[in-house]
Amino acid sequence: MSGYPLEGVKALDFSRVLAGPFAGRMLADLGADVVKVEPPDGDSTRLWGKMVGGISGYFSYANAGKRNISIDLRADGAKDLVLALARCADVVLENFRPGVMDRLGVGYGALSAVNPRLVMVSISGFGRNGPDSHRPAYAPIVHAELGLIERAARRGGMRQDLPLSAADTNAGLHGLVALLSALLMRTRTGAGQHIDIAMMDATLATDDQVHFELEDAEETRNLPPDIWETGAGPILVSADFRYLWRLLTESGRVSDPQQPGMSLEAKIAARRGAVAAFMLSLADWDAVEHAMALMNLAWGRVRGGETLRAQPTLKARGAIVEIDDGAGGVRPIAQSPYRFSAAASGVRGPASRRGAHNSDVLRDWLGASQAEIDAWLDRGVLCVDAAPDA
């Protein structure tokens, strides 16, 4: 192992909620020194999820491994402090609405003036230019605007948001790809740049079904996979029913129940009933796996979230790990998905309370004295939460 790939990279993360923080979390997992710059009122996700040691589950998920300083960007002297930090940084992440950082005096123009090598990633719902740029956006807004909610309802569901924030994590991951590309380019040019990531663009680009919509070709799509009840529990089988039917009948495992004179609808219903009976006859998971393997079919157990720790692949790969919970124990978190042959990666510590690393970061990055740090605290530029047991 030769250490973490991004060791030595310094990142200021001004972002909140998920799209930006998720990109910052991945940077931290890859070894960057990611400093979350949190406002006095805190990231709203501090209120979401199970509270342990004063930290919510959602905030832990998106901010583990980062150091935390809290700056009131509207306070007198805050701009100068941010500019000083930007001189030392390689990366800045932010997901305010376009123009907010500029109005605070810490937009890309101001930051790049003191550090031309800086790479800044701005993530917003609708991008920096265009008729909707002024609108606030969270993942559900993008899911609605891109037709994902309507598509799910049309395909047999109902009009409700997706069960995960796909637009946020897509934007975060595409932002990460662009950021790493810009850092690589900087090694050739010596110059940084500003990256504009719209959640709309990122989600559209990651939607493998959108061509059916753009070309009005819904009728050409493959049949969706079916979920069947087995004797062991429900499974999803990734096969067009027509193909599954052919495999089962040609192997003699299922006989065709159709009768002369049956309508097409009745014939389909009878055949699906025969397959359902076969699936239900598989008494345990060994029988399920054996039957699927004989047909060379991809399948998955439809499991509840409470069983994730027991999922064999997640367990074998250490995909769920325990980190310090700040209260004398540990709490679970998803591990970094990156597995290198000659480098390390992985969550490197818990999420922190607001302002927990004010002094450490300012000493490490700026060489600030305690008197300077105290002065920033006294003037309200820096903020800090009391420890949970205080």
Q: Which amino acid is at 204?
A: L
| Region for residue 380 given its phi and psi (left: phi exceeds 0; alpha: psi -120 to 50; beta: otherwise) | left
CA 235 to chain centre: 26
168 labelled catalytic: yes
- Retrieve residue 107's tokens: 């937009």
Q: How far apart are CA 186 and CA 285, in angstroms?
A: 53
Which are the contacts of 328, defined by CB distance < 8 A and separation ≥ 6? none
Q: How far apart are CA 267 and CA 272, in angstroms?
A: 9
Q: Which amino acid is at 249?
A: T
Candidate list 33, 43, 90, 168, residue with the active-site label: 168
Residue 24 CA neighbour count, 13 Å, CB half? 38
Residue 143: DSSP 8-state: H
Q: How far apart are CA 237 and CA 252, in angstroms?
A: 19
CA 202 to chain centre: 12
Q: How far apart are CA 186 and CA 192, in angstroms?
A: 6
- Retrieve residue 167's tokens: 């637009």
The catalytic site residues sit at 168
